[in-house]
Structure 1
Amino acid sequence: MTAPVPAVAVPAFALTWWLACYLLGRDPSRPVLWRSAAALMAYALAVAAWTVTPEGAAATVLLCVPALAWAGAALGLLPDDRPERRQVDRGWLLLSVVFLAMIVALPGAGRLVALAPLAGGLVLVWRSRDDVRPRALPAAVAAAAALYGLGLLALLLPIDLGSHELVLAAVGLDLMLLGFLAAVADAVDTGERLFPDLRRSVVGALAATLVVAGPSALTILAVPDRPVVAVLQFVLLAVVMSAFALSGPVRRGLDRVAFLHDERLRLDRAALLMLADALPRRRERHALIALSEAEFVRLTRRALDDYGDLARLLRSPLIDLPTVDRRLTGRASDQPLARAVELRAVLQDGVARLKPTGLPGTGERWRHYNALHYCCVQGLRPYERRLRTEGLDRDARQVLEWIRRYVPRRTLREWQSEGAQLVAEQLWKDLVGTDPRWLTRATANATRST
């Protein structure tokens, strides 16, 4: 094995694996993030396979898998309220299985068929570019995907563009750019900051790469004819980069083991770790006033969806609403956890205002309240295969059974969106009707308490 092989492969593997884990750590439930992470992990495994068996078919197959994953990531950029979104996701899953089988079966250049789903996904995103935020994202994704496609062409076709190591590294850079764009899309959609949190993770990833990747590359060079040693080095890199990029979940898991019989200490540390993870992703306070009404409505809808997740509410820009300030006094006004709890109370009050007068029911005028109160505030899931009704009163059971039988998922989602808009309108009126000096006073109080 020549020296350039591990010198390129080891850092490429480490950095792409780190970025994949970072995207998963942001929010594994977001399709655009976990699909982007799958693309990066497939590339990292392809680099490892290419290092161990340069002439094997496993490396070329794995190099084509990111195209399938990124087709799904591109579809994840489409707005969630699109009526055809569910069908599009199902179609992507089915086509991914079909094309993966074709990639495995076809030889050499025939595996370029993997670029077809990616092209289709980019076309759908481009047609909906006016609804994608930020506006420049579709063009940036298309450019990075085109560069990835050119790199794949150079690797699978008999084209001499110089060293294959450099071409492989260029493909990795393209995929890392696509991963960065996925993180940007997620930060914009959730109303969070990206760069402070990403900068902290990048610094640590580079340090870990220098400390761990160097000895790993030297070990692979020292025993070039031992594939098992190379595989073990890549496994070591994957473990180290995963532990670093997913430091929050790893620390919480260790606390569950170390403090198994000390629940109070475990809960206190969990709250502190949740706060530490959320602070770099919170927006500046003044950014709340710069929001448009449409953006404010969208963030309110997302906050209602995240009602049961205090960690996500900690990162919501709505945590700095003036109505939250009025509910807090003294030093508590500068405590993010206290503000998140009060934001939850504000949202609950907004939903309670939608409750019609009279006895609880399932009529037309109850649709917004029922959709938000039972499915968002109480966190009930009426479409679960095994509906859990333990501890619920008669009214809640009646509403859940009615939703389960007579309300389609799409209709329920529409009711939730309409109800969230009504809640957002009340909060928006309070925001724009508040004395503009509220921001200055709140900042001064926070500084004074500090």
Structure 2
Amino acid sequence: MPAIAVPAFALTWWLGCYLVGRDPTRAVLWRSAGALAGYAVAVAAWTVSPGSGAAQVLLCVPALLWSGVAVGLLPPSAPEHRQANRGWPVLALVFLLLAAVLPGVGKLVALAPLAGAMVLLLRYRDRVRPAPLPSALAAAAVLYTLGLIVVLGPIDLGPPEVVLAAIGLDLLLMGYLVAVADAVEAGERLSPDLTRALLAAVLAVLLCAGPAALTMLAAPGRPAVTVLQFVLVAMVLAAVGLAGQLRAGLDRLAFLHDEGLRASRSALLLAADALPRRRERRRMPALDADEFRRLTRRALEDYGDVGRLLRNPLVELPTVDRRLAARGPGVADQPLVRAAELRAVLSEHVARLKPAGAFGTTEEWRFYNALHYCSVQGLRPYQRGPQPEGLDRDARRAVDWFRRYVPRRSLRRWQAEGAAMVAAQLWRDLVSTDPRWLTGAGPNGRRLPVR
């Protein structure tokens, strides 16, 4: 068992940490990481006590979290998107309790939320990006279901360890598909970053998981030794998967009283982490108007996050190139300067939405107020506690107006509509100044990708 369990535990635990490290703010990544971690803990529990009730329940946890991944991938335009994401945690908890109290094959009840979520995702598969994702996730879910039935049901196909390993491969595939979806959503490359992380994980498995498996084989029937070896492997693989967050945390501790050094190192580390994930420059003219609009909205949402702006394909906009070229040779090759220039471009286009006259709260002001104060200035009007110091009179009035009269849903809608207006301005500038973007232009402003 250790020869199979330890590598399965190590790789699934690492991939879960890697997904969280990609973007700790995305709920879908946390849910998929939870599914992988649940399987890893189940493998450890099965190694300590094969066929125990705790191990069987833990094997059902990935199904429940996988259902959360499916509803999290539903397109925001789907009518069920909001209700499914709100109701999923309660439903998952109910079915987890049922799986815990039902004996043997009754634990397969945990598959019900996964089946419902996959049906819902397949129903809207034409709106999910990338297009093959729902079908691939559904196929992986079917394989996981078959594996779980073999482990928990009366079917005897040989040693359960082999089936457990097959379930682990299936969950690794699920994690990879979620990483692909995240990269497509962010407009990033996945292959270079994932390859580097996988090489580090394989090296860690060879150096750490191998000796851990040998230790378990050398000390059979010692649960304490087995548990400690799994804990050691988990710590090492977590450090590999969360390398960026670990470096940032170490810097905060090591340079506690040197804020300038911390800021400089943080900027350099952000640039280093962003470079493998940035889309190739040659693919920029292949963007169509819909994806360009989505990336513009994401850039405005990430206005205050340099790391995300560095990975946004819009840092390669021709207008950014022209502005950097005017500043002198060599400036265009500096990623942090590119991110700063993209901020300036976005800020100028948001300023174009400002109506004439003094600050106002009429209908014509809503898009500018939503973007300028909540995206560009980074104010959080619904956040409890004091706002940042140094706000001018208009900013204080805007925060008070949002709190008193603007529901959160309305603000989000205004930000989305305002971002679409900014994207339209940028798009018009592109097609009027850069002939590469005119290739394949259609009557509705959409273009076929340039091959």
| TM tier, smaller | over 0.9
Report what 1:109 is aligned to: 105
Give the aligned length. Answer: 434
Percent of matched pairs sharing the same residue: 67
- Counterpart AA for 1:65: V
Q: Distance in 1 between matches of 2:434 and 2:402?
A: 42
The alpha carbon displacement at 1:57 in A equals 1.0
Q: Give the whole-Å Cα distance in 1 for the aligned partners of 2:363 and 2:79.
A: 22
Task: Tell me the residue number matched to 1:364.
Answer: 363
Question: Which residue identity is paired with 2:237?
Answer: M
The structural deviation recorded for 1:84 is: 4.7
Give the superposition deviation at 1:387. Answer: 5.6
Q: Does 1:27 align with 2:26?
A: no
Partner in structure 1 of residue 381 of structure 2: 382
**1:406–1:344 CA distance, 2 compared to 1 (3 A):** same
Q: Post-superposition shift, 1:408?
A: 2.1
One-letter code of the match for 1:363? Answer: T
The amino acid across from 1:351 in the alignment is V
Residue 298 of structure 1 pairs with residue 294 of structure 2:
yes
Change (3 A) 1:387 1:80: farther
Does 1:351 pair with 2:350? Answer: yes
8 A contact 1:78–1:132 mirrored in 2: yes
2:90 is matched with which residue: 94, 116, 128? 94
- 2:70–2:117: 8 Å Cα contact kept in structure 1? yes
Aligned position for 1:279: 275
Once the 2 structures are TM-superposed, how far is the Cα of residue 389 of structure 1 from its aligned partner? Answer: 6.1
Would you say the 8 A contact 2:318–2:434 is kept in 1?
A: no
Show the counterpart of 1:398.
397
Mapping of 1:205-284 within 5 angstroms?
Answer: 205-284=201-280
Structure 1 counterpart of 2:426, one-letter code: L
Which residue of the other structure, out of 133, 158, 163, is the alignment partner of 1:162?
158
Superposed displacement of residue 32, structure 1: 1.5
Q: Normalising by structure 2, what TM-score? A: 0.93
Which residue identity lines up with residue 353 of structure 1 in the other structure? R
Deviation of residue 437 (structure 1)?
Answer: 7.3
Aligned to 1:446: none
Match of residue 444 from structure 1: none
**Which deviates further from its counterpart, 397-406 or 194-203?**
397-406
Deviation at 1:31, TM superposition (A): 1.6
Deviates more, 1:41-50 or 1:80-89: 80-89
1:88-139 Cα distance to aligned partner (Å, 9 max, x none): 2110011111111111111111111111111111111111111100111110
* Aligned counterpart, 2:448: none
1:422 counterpart residue number: 421
C-alpha distance in 1, partners of 2:434/2:301? 29
Q: Tell me the distance in 1 between the aligned counterparts of 2:242 and 2:116.
A: 33
Alignment partner of 1:15 out of 11, 15, 18: 11
Q: Which moved more, 1:377-386 or 1:197-206?
A: 377-386
CA displacement at 1:83 relative to structure 2: 5.9
Indicate conservation of the 8 Å contact 2:151/2:160, yes or no.
yes
C-alpha deviation, 1:79, in angstroms: 2.4
Deviations 1:43-96 (A, max 9, x none): 000000000111321111110001111111111112245565332211001111
Give 1:406 deviation, angstroms. 2.3
Tell me, yes or no, if the aligned pair for 2:129 and 2:185 is still in contact at 8 Å: yes
**For 2:122 and 2:344, how far apart are their aligned partners in 1?**
40
- Aligned partner of 1:445 in structure 2 is none
Amino acid in structure 2 at the alignment position of 1:316: N
Given that 1:381 and 1:387 are in contact with CA atoms closer than 8 Å, whether structure 2 keeps it comes out as no
What is the aligned partner in structure 1 of residue 410 from structure 2? 411
Q: Which amino acid aligns with 1:391?
A: G
The one-letter code of the counterpart of 1:342 is E
1:137-216 to 2 correspondences below 5 Å: 137-216=133-212
Report the 3-state secondary structure (helix = DSSP H, G, I; strand = E; otherwise coil) of the residue aligned with 1:328. Answer: helix
Equivalent residues of 2:188, 2:278 under 8 A apart: yes
Deviation of the 1:259 alpha carbon? 2.1
Q: Could you state the TM-score of these two structures normalised by the residue count of structure 1?
A: 0.94
Separation in 1, partners of 2:369, 2:290: 24
CA distance in 2, matches of 1:79, 1:293: 18
Report if the CA contact (8 A) 2:28-2:73 is conserved: yes
Moved more, 191-200 or 323-332: 323-332
CA shift for structure 1 position 164: 0.6
Query: Offset of 1:390 from its aligned partner?
Result: 4.2
- Whole-angstrom CA distance in 2 between matches of 1:369 and 1:396: 12
* Counterpart-to-counterpart distance in 1, 2:169 and 2:296: 36
Q: Indicate conservation of the 8 Å contact 1:389/1:397, yes or no.
A: no
Tell me the amino acid that sits aligned with residue 392 of structure 2.
Answer: D
Q: Deviations over 1:135-162 (max 9, x none)?
A: 1111001000110011000100010112
Superposed, 1:120-131 pairs within 5 Å as 120-131=116-127
- 1:327 match: secondary structure: helix
Aligned residue type for 1:414? R
Match among 24, 35, 40 for residue 36 of structure 2: 40
| Corresponding residue of 2:69 | 73
Q: 1:407 to 1:264 in 2, by over 3 A?
A: closer
